[in-house]
Chains A and B, each alone.
Chain A
Amino acid sequence: MKTLADLKKIREKAQEEMKLRGSNVRVKVVVGMGTSGIAMGAREVMKTFLEEISQRNLTDVLVTQTGEKGLSSMEPVVDVVEEGKDKVTYGNMTPEKVKKVVVEHIVNGRIVSEFVVTTGN
């Protein structure tokens, strides 16, 4: 490390590694992991999100989890929360659908209306 630019490079990479601890999150994906969600494959859904986001190197997307959301008939249920926008809830998710949501919604900002259960808070 010889210049401030080198330092900045290291900092950006390290911040990426630490993004779970706050700062610089554009989109938050919340996977419902209640008993029924898990029974319907929520873990697979979450894993696919993690893999897709990692592959595409989306540094400002955070995947987290929550408990039962009450929409048992639609499980696995996923919320996509963007700063300053209405929350979008997707239902009956599968790993295949996840890939589409990542490409369309998270990358390109187009809500995949065919999977949407509800929007707004």
Chain B
Amino acid sequence: MSLKRIDLLICCGSGCVSAGALKIKEKIQSVLKDKGLLNEINIIETGCMGPCDLGPVMIVYPEGIFYQKVTVNDVEELVEEHFIKGRPVKRLMAQDKQEQVVSTAKEIPFYQKQVKVALANCGYIDPESLDEYIAQGGYEALGTLLTEKKPADAIEIVSKSGLRGRGGGGFPTATKWKLAAGNKDSQKYIICNGDEGDPGAFMDRSLLEGDPHRVLEGMMIAAYAMGASKGFFYIRAEYPLAIKRIKGAIEQAREAGLLGKNIFGSKFEFDAEVRTGAGAFVCGEETALIHSIEGERGHPSAKPPYPSDKGLWGKPTCVNNVETFANLPTIFLKGPEWFASMGTKTSKGTKVFALTGDVKNTGLVEVPMGITLREMIFEVGGGIVGDRNFKAVQLGGPSGGCLTTEHLDVPVDYESLKEKGAMMGSGGVIVMNDSNCMVSIAKFFLEFSVEESCGKCSPCRIGLKQMLDIMERITSGKGKEEDIEELIRLGEAIKQLSLCGLGQTAPNPVLSTIKYFRNEYEAHIRDMSCSTSVCLDLMHFNIDKAKCIGCSLCAKKCPVTCISGSKEEKFTIHQLDCIKCGTCMEVCPVKAISKIPQMNDEVKACREKQRLQSEYEE
């Protein structure tokens, strides 16, 4: 038994690390060493604790005091006051809605609506310690299953729990296993899909970094149920820490006899290894992922045959998402009824979301299915940053869609979101305030899909590019009246004709924004106006001569010298030369320069002249 009296948990998720968590840890170690306290305090690096924008965060046990936005300069005080004198440092603690200081993590509003299942240990245990995972009941589910139950029982339990794939599609997990289990081939494979690629999504990364043994145990449960003896973790190479942690976990499990032959004295044998992906978005699609593991080019292939019949190297294979695996140990420990008691009729349990964008509390959250978007954005997320208004929320990344204010009371489950034109996706939630141009947002996601299209099938390869050309036209003030209908026609065709999930969902961001923000598209096309001044061609800067004091600062700073004037005449921007860099607005001491959300008349006339000229020449 140790003499330790304090467990100091420092969040070392990627967010906190980039905010300086490791430097703080070093500083704490050196201060503790100076004061001779090293043997009394346990410093533990944990996975992501969730509230990333409060980072670097840490929790001090036994009291459970939660500290946020800690800097290296705070360390001396923290050690002196809290660790030596036992007086928690109030100024580093969080505040609740009534601006009262709250001491423990549980009291913070950010955590109150959350229910942690997959993330239960994330930010609480040392992810590199097998013992700490076991202390939380780790591998007990697997041990009990292997010694007391048959594979068919495992499928039955998961079927009862109602667990569905957490990667986005929402296919019932038990059905997937059953298909593979029904196959009598002697060699079967299980694959963990950790090829998380949606912009702004980091659920899988955090799970793999924060609780790798849980994912491994989940994989082994699945392997036993479907009869696989070999597993692969497919993780993108951009996640070096996740790869290191899962490799470490596999190594520890091997040493402890949890991997190999006769696991828990049963006949079950299993081993796992890690394969890294090169970061192609399409490799998140199961057939493309399988080809990538085989060493082939990451191209999807037509289904059927499904991977459950002919998957990796032609053998029956199951591909499950990281979060799906992470739910399994708890389902087996607490029972399927417990899991099914959370959520809605068709979507059970909890879901992890990466909450990003214009909300106060960005970070990693786990909420019960069926929670409304309003609760998620305004209660867990703490509402919109600054004094802006909520405009839209984008769910499901490049495959999903945007929802608006009228959808705030939609429950978050697979069916409800799909019905409204968005999708659960893997769990990326991007909240947007009213300074966002929805046409630009749709264009951004479309650009991503065009870039990531593998090029195998023409609807996706050519069709998406055509859509992007139209979007570029619209955002540069060259849109035509019929463009909106053409986008819808192309989008619907691409959805129906594409080979894999990438193409089948890529038009969603455009289609859903047309559905809910058609007026913005029309304003871009007809009035050549971007009301948020995001599309540079559809706005201009203007100097208010009544406010201008003629200081000439704008003219001096303008990188293309397109501002001229004098103290008497005041200053003017020559719109035809302006590159819309915004420097003049930033430097103006009297705020005389503003954005006008419309194409300048002079520019409009010049463009019209050019157009007529080129027509005449033809």
Contacts and interface: CB of A to CB of B under 8 A. Distances in A.
A18 B264 contact: no
B527 interface: no
Contact of B5 (A1, A25, A46): A46
Nearest to A49: B5
Given A11-B135, A18-B132, A62-B62, A3 B5 contact: no
B135 A51 contact: no
A3 B264 contact: yes
A67 B86 contact: yes
Nearest to B5: A63
A14 B135 contact: yes
A90 to B, nearest CB: 17
B1 A33 contact: no
Interface string B1-34: 1111111010000000000000000000000000
B340 to A, nearest CB: 26
Contacts of B131: 10, 13-14, 17
Given A1-B257, A50-B3, A64 B134 contact: no
Top 8 A-B residue pairs of the complex, sorted by shortest distance between their CB atoms: A65-B86, A14-B135, A14-B131, A20-B7, A67-B87, A33-B86, A15-B135, A21-B61
B262 interface: yes
Contact of A7 (B1, B62, B143): B143
Nearest to B143: A4
Interface in A11-62: 11, 13-18, 20-22, 25, 28, 31-35, 38, 46, 50-51, 53-54, 57, 59, 62
B277 to A, nearest CB: 32
B42 interface: yes
A2 B265 contact: yes
A2 B125 CA distance: 24
B63 A67 contact: no
Contacts of B3: 50-51, 54
A14 B7 CA distance: 14
Contact of A65 (B7, B85, B143, B144): B85
Nearest to A31: B86
Contact of B63 (A13, A63, A64): A64
Contacts of A28: 62
A13 B2 CA distance: 12
Nearest to B139: A7
A64 B62 contact: yes
B134 A10 contact: yes
A32 B85 CA distance: 8
B80 to A, nearest CB: 11
Contacts of A50: 3, 5, 40
B156 interface: no
B129 to A, nearest CB: 8
Contacts of B125: 18
A116 to B, nearest CB: 22
B147 interface: yes
Nearest to B7: A20
B137 interface: yes
Q: Chain B interface mostly helix, strand, loop or mixed?
A: loop
Nearest to A5: B143
B7 A21 contact: yes
Contacts of A113: none
Nearest to B140: A7
B258 interface: yes
Nearest to A9: B134
Interface string B133-174: 011010110011001000000000000000000000000000
Contact of B265 (A3, A22, A57): A3
A73 interface: no
B61 A20 contact: yes
Q: Most chain-B CB neighbours within 10 Å: which of A1, A62, A63?
A: A1
A20 B256 contact: no
A15 B133 CA distance: 10
A1 B125 CA distance: 21
14 contacts: A1-B256, A3-B265, A7-B134, A7-B139, A7-B140, A7-B264, A11-B135, A13-B131, A18-B7, A20-B42, A21-B62, A22-B62, A25-B62, A53-B1
Given A33-B85, A54-B1, A64-B5, 18 more contacts: A2-B257, A3-B264, A4-B140, A4-B143, A4-B147, A11-B137, A13-B131, A14-B131, A17-B132, A20-B4, A20-B61, A21-B62, A22-B61, A31-B86, A34-B85, A38-B84, A54-B3, A59-B1
A12 to B, nearest CB: 9
A2 B137 contact: no
Interface string B552-567: 0000000000000000
Contacts of A20: 4-7, 42, 61-62
B2 A33 contact: no
Contacts of B4: 20
A119 interface: no
A50 B61 CA distance: 16
A66 interface: yes
Contacts of B85: 33-35, 38, 65, 67
B571 interface: no
A66 B85 CA distance: 7
A54 B40 CA distance: 12
A33 B143 CA distance: 45
B66 to A, nearest CB: 13
Contacts of A62: 62
Interface string B40-54: 101000000000000
B425 to A, nearest CB: 34
A111 B265 CA distance: 49
Contacts of B140: 4, 7, 11
Contacts of B265: 2-3
A107 B415 CA distance: 58
A98 B314 CA distance: 70
Contacts of A14: 131-132, 134-135
B264 A2 contact: yes
A22 B4 CA distance: 14
A11 B62 contact: no
Nearest to A64: B62
A57 B84 CA distance: 24
B325 interface: no
B189 interface: no
